Amino acid sequence: MHTETDLETMLLGPVLADRACGDCTACCTVLTVDTPDFKKPAGTPCMHLASHGCGIHAVRPHICRTWFCAWRRVADMPDEARPDRSGLLVSLNFEHEPRNCFEGVSINVRALAGGDAIENGMAATILDSLCDRLIPVWFSNGSKKMLMHPENDVAHLVLSGEAAPAHLQNEVAAWRERYGVFAANG
Ligand code: SF4
Ligand code: SF4
Protein backbone atom coordinates (compact mmCIF):
# COMPACT_ATOMS: atom_id res chain seq x y z
CA MET A 1 0.00 0.00 0.00
CA HIS A 2 1.22 3.48 -0.78
CA THR A 3 0.03 6.94 0.05
CA GLU A 4 -0.33 8.31 -3.49
CA THR A 5 -4.10 8.52 -2.99
CA ASP A 6 -4.59 11.53 -5.26
CA LEU A 7 -2.77 9.78 -8.09
CA GLU A 8 -4.88 6.69 -7.56
CA THR A 9 -8.03 8.80 -7.80
CA MET A 10 -6.75 10.51 -10.93
CA LEU A 11 -5.81 7.27 -12.69
CA LEU A 12 -8.40 4.79 -11.39
CA GLY A 13 -11.23 7.05 -10.32
CA PRO A 14 -12.80 7.81 -6.94
CA VAL A 15 -13.84 5.12 -4.50
CA LEU A 16 -17.25 3.82 -5.57
CA ALA A 17 -20.11 4.25 -3.13
CA ASP A 18 -21.65 0.87 -3.96
CA ARG A 19 -18.52 -1.24 -3.39
CA ALA A 20 -17.64 -2.48 0.12
CA CYS A 21 -14.83 -4.71 1.34
CA GLY A 22 -17.28 -6.97 3.20
CA ASP A 23 -15.43 -10.09 4.35
CA CYS A 24 -12.41 -9.42 2.14
CA THR A 25 -9.12 -8.81 3.94
CA ALA A 26 -6.79 -9.68 1.05
CA CYS A 27 -4.77 -6.47 1.19
CA CYS A 28 -4.16 -6.95 4.94
CA THR A 29 -2.10 -10.04 4.10
CA VAL A 30 -0.84 -9.71 0.54
CA LEU A 31 0.60 -6.21 0.42
CA THR A 32 3.59 -4.42 1.85
CA VAL A 33 2.74 -1.46 4.05
CA ASP A 34 5.57 0.98 4.54
CA THR A 35 4.42 4.24 6.08
CA PRO A 36 5.95 6.23 8.94
CA ASP A 37 3.31 5.10 11.43
CA PHE A 38 2.68 1.54 10.24
CA LYS A 39 4.69 -1.14 8.42
CA LYS A 40 4.13 -4.76 7.49
CA PRO A 41 5.85 -7.10 5.02
CA ALA A 42 4.19 -8.52 1.91
CA GLY A 43 2.61 -11.95 2.10
CA THR A 44 2.23 -11.88 5.87
CA PRO A 45 -1.07 -11.37 7.71
CA CYS A 46 -1.09 -8.07 9.57
CA MET A 47 -0.59 -8.49 13.30
CA HIS A 48 -3.97 -6.76 13.80
CA LEU A 49 -5.90 -9.11 11.52
CA ALA A 50 -8.48 -11.07 13.52
CA SER A 51 -10.99 -13.74 12.50
CA HIS A 52 -13.70 -11.10 11.95
CA GLY A 53 -11.43 -8.67 10.08
CA CYS A 54 -9.33 -5.80 11.36
CA GLY A 55 -9.03 -6.05 15.12
CA ILE A 56 -8.34 -2.33 15.48
CA HIS A 57 -10.84 -1.10 12.90
CA ALA A 58 -11.91 1.99 14.85
CA VAL A 59 -8.34 3.18 15.29
CA ARG A 60 -6.68 1.58 12.24
CA PRO A 61 -3.72 3.45 10.69
CA HIS A 62 -4.27 6.30 8.25
CA ILE A 63 -3.07 4.24 5.28
CA CYS A 64 -5.72 1.59 6.00
CA ARG A 65 -8.45 4.24 6.06
CA THR A 66 -7.42 5.84 2.80
CA TRP A 67 -6.08 3.02 0.61
CA PHE A 68 -8.41 0.96 -1.59
CA CYS A 69 -7.71 -1.69 -4.21
CA ALA A 70 -8.77 -1.12 -7.82
CA TRP A 71 -11.95 -3.15 -7.35
CA ARG A 72 -13.19 -0.43 -4.98
CA ARG A 73 -12.59 2.21 -7.67
CA VAL A 74 -13.04 0.77 -11.17
CA ALA A 75 -16.69 0.30 -12.11
CA ASP A 76 -15.73 -1.68 -15.24
CA MET A 77 -14.42 -4.48 -13.02
CA PRO A 78 -17.29 -6.89 -12.32
CA ASP A 79 -18.75 -7.23 -8.82
CA GLU A 80 -17.46 -10.82 -8.69
CA ALA A 81 -13.91 -9.48 -9.01
CA ARG A 82 -13.68 -8.65 -5.31
CA PRO A 83 -10.28 -10.10 -4.33
CA ASP A 84 -11.55 -12.69 -1.84
CA ARG A 85 -14.00 -14.02 -4.46
CA SER A 86 -11.90 -13.75 -7.60
CA GLY A 87 -8.47 -14.65 -6.24
CA LEU A 88 -7.07 -11.52 -7.91
CA LEU A 89 -5.88 -8.41 -6.11
CA VAL A 90 -5.61 -5.41 -8.43
CA SER A 91 -3.90 -2.21 -7.35
CA LEU A 92 -1.89 0.70 -8.59
CA ASN A 93 1.81 0.02 -8.14
CA PHE A 94 4.49 2.67 -7.61
CA GLU A 95 8.08 1.64 -8.26
CA HIS A 96 10.59 4.16 -7.00
CA GLU A 97 13.47 2.59 -8.94
CA PRO A 98 11.75 1.36 -12.12
CA ARG A 99 13.74 -0.78 -14.57
CA ASN A 100 11.82 0.68 -17.49
CA CYS A 101 9.14 3.25 -18.22
CA PHE A 102 6.28 0.76 -17.73
CA GLU A 103 7.20 0.05 -14.11
CA GLY A 104 7.11 3.52 -12.52
CA VAL A 105 3.35 3.71 -12.21
CA SER A 106 1.29 0.72 -13.30
CA ILE A 107 -1.68 -1.47 -12.52
CA ASN A 108 -0.67 -4.78 -10.98
CA VAL A 109 -3.04 -7.74 -11.24
CA ARG A 110 -1.86 -10.26 -8.65
CA ALA A 111 -3.05 -13.86 -8.76
CA LEU A 112 -3.50 -14.91 -5.12
CA ALA A 113 -2.25 -18.28 -3.93
CA GLY A 114 -4.80 -21.05 -4.30
CA GLY A 115 -7.04 -19.13 -6.72
CA ASP A 116 -8.29 -20.41 -10.07
CA ALA A 117 -8.86 -17.07 -11.80
CA ILE A 118 -6.90 -18.07 -14.89
CA GLU A 119 -8.76 -21.35 -15.32
CA ASN A 120 -12.26 -19.90 -14.77
CA GLY A 121 -11.74 -16.89 -17.03
CA MET A 122 -11.91 -14.18 -14.36
CA ALA A 123 -8.32 -13.11 -15.02
CA ALA A 124 -9.13 -12.54 -18.70
CA THR A 125 -12.32 -10.63 -17.80
CA ILE A 126 -10.46 -8.35 -15.41
CA LEU A 127 -7.59 -7.75 -17.81
CA ASP A 128 -10.11 -6.86 -20.55
CA SER A 129 -11.61 -4.24 -18.26
CA LEU A 130 -8.23 -2.67 -17.46
CA CYS A 131 -6.23 -2.82 -20.69
CA ASP A 132 -8.04 -0.03 -22.52
CA ARG A 133 -6.42 3.01 -20.87
CA LEU A 134 -3.03 4.69 -20.94
CA ILE A 135 -1.79 2.86 -17.83
CA PRO A 136 0.61 -0.11 -18.04
CA VAL A 137 -0.88 -3.38 -16.74
CA TRP A 138 1.22 -6.19 -15.27
CA PHE A 139 0.07 -9.67 -14.26
CA SER A 140 1.97 -11.40 -11.48
CA ASN A 141 1.58 -14.74 -9.77
CA GLY A 142 4.19 -14.54 -7.07
CA SER A 143 7.01 -16.06 -9.12
CA LYS A 144 6.85 -14.05 -12.32
CA LYS A 145 5.51 -10.78 -13.62
CA MET A 146 4.39 -10.14 -17.21
CA LEU A 147 3.54 -6.91 -19.02
CA MET A 148 0.00 -7.32 -20.43
CA HIS A 149 -0.61 -3.78 -21.67
CA PRO A 150 0.53 -2.20 -23.92
CA GLU A 151 0.92 -5.12 -26.33
CA ASN A 152 4.40 -6.41 -27.16
CA ASP A 153 4.87 -4.54 -30.43
CA VAL A 154 3.92 -1.20 -28.89
CA ALA A 155 6.00 -1.84 -25.75
CA HIS A 156 9.02 -2.70 -27.88
CA LEU A 157 8.72 0.52 -29.88
CA VAL A 158 8.27 2.65 -26.76
CA LEU A 159 11.27 1.08 -25.02
CA SER A 160 13.59 0.92 -28.02
CA GLY A 161 12.92 4.39 -29.33
CA GLU A 162 12.61 2.98 -32.87
CA ALA A 163 10.37 4.80 -35.33
CA ALA A 164 6.81 3.49 -35.16
CA PRO A 165 4.83 2.52 -38.29
CA ALA A 166 2.05 4.93 -39.19
CA HIS A 167 -0.77 2.93 -37.58
CA LEU A 168 1.03 2.87 -34.19
CA GLN A 169 2.57 6.34 -34.17
CA ASN A 170 -0.09 8.05 -32.05
CA GLU A 171 -0.23 5.25 -29.49
CA VAL A 172 3.55 4.98 -29.14
CA ALA A 173 3.86 8.76 -28.85
CA ALA A 174 1.20 8.86 -26.12
CA TRP A 175 2.99 6.21 -24.00
CA ARG A 176 6.34 7.96 -24.45
CA GLU A 177 4.89 11.32 -23.53
CA ARG A 178 3.26 10.12 -20.33
CA TYR A 179 5.86 7.61 -19.12
CA GLY A 180 9.12 8.74 -20.70
CA VAL A 181 9.99 10.37 -17.38
CA PHE A 182 10.66 6.86 -16.00
CA ALA A 183 12.85 5.79 -18.93
CA ALA A 184 16.07 7.22 -17.50
CA ASN A 185 16.29 4.22 -15.19
CA GLY A 186 15.50 1.62 -17.84
S1 SF4 B 1 -8.31 -6.02 -1.16
FE2 SF4 B 1 -9.78 -4.41 -1.75
S3 SF4 B 1 -11.82 -5.26 -1.28
FE4 SF4 B 1 -10.28 -6.49 -0.18
S5 SF4 B 1 -10.14 -5.54 1.86
FE6 SF4 B 1 -8.52 -4.61 0.59
S7 SF4 B 1 -9.47 -2.75 -0.28
FE8 SF4 B 1 -11.14 -4.05 0.50
S1 SF4 C 1 -4.32 -2.50 10.63
FE2 SF4 C 1 -6.25 -3.50 10.14
S3 SF4 C 1 -6.87 -2.67 8.11
FE4 SF4 C 1 -4.67 -2.21 8.44
S5 SF4 C 1 -3.56 -3.93 7.45
FE6 SF4 C 1 -3.83 -4.43 9.64
S7 SF4 C 1 -5.70 -5.65 9.71
FE8 SF4 C 1 -5.70 -4.58 7.75
For ligand 2, atom 2, the nearest C-alpha belongs to 54
Residue 114, pLDDT above cutoff 60? yes
Q: Which bound ligand lies closest to the C-alpha atom of 50?
A: 2
Tell which residue, 97, 103, 95, 91, has the closest CA to residue 155.
Answer: 103
pLDDT of residue 87: 97
Answer whether 123's CB lies under 8 Å from 109's CB: yes
For 73-81, what is the mean pLDDT?
Answer: 96
Tens of pLDDT along 2-25? 556 688 999 999 999 999 999 999
81 pocket-lining for ligand 1 (C-beta < 6 Å): no
Helices (H), 4-87: 5-12, 26-30, 62-66, 83-86
Residue 57, pLDDT above cutoff 60? yes
Tell which residue, 70, 62, 58, 61, has the closest CA to residue 21.
Answer: 70
pTM of the model: 0.91
Task: Name the least confident of 70-74, 120-124, 143-147, 164-168.
Answer: 143-147
Alpha carbons 123 and 102: distance in angstroms, whole number: 20
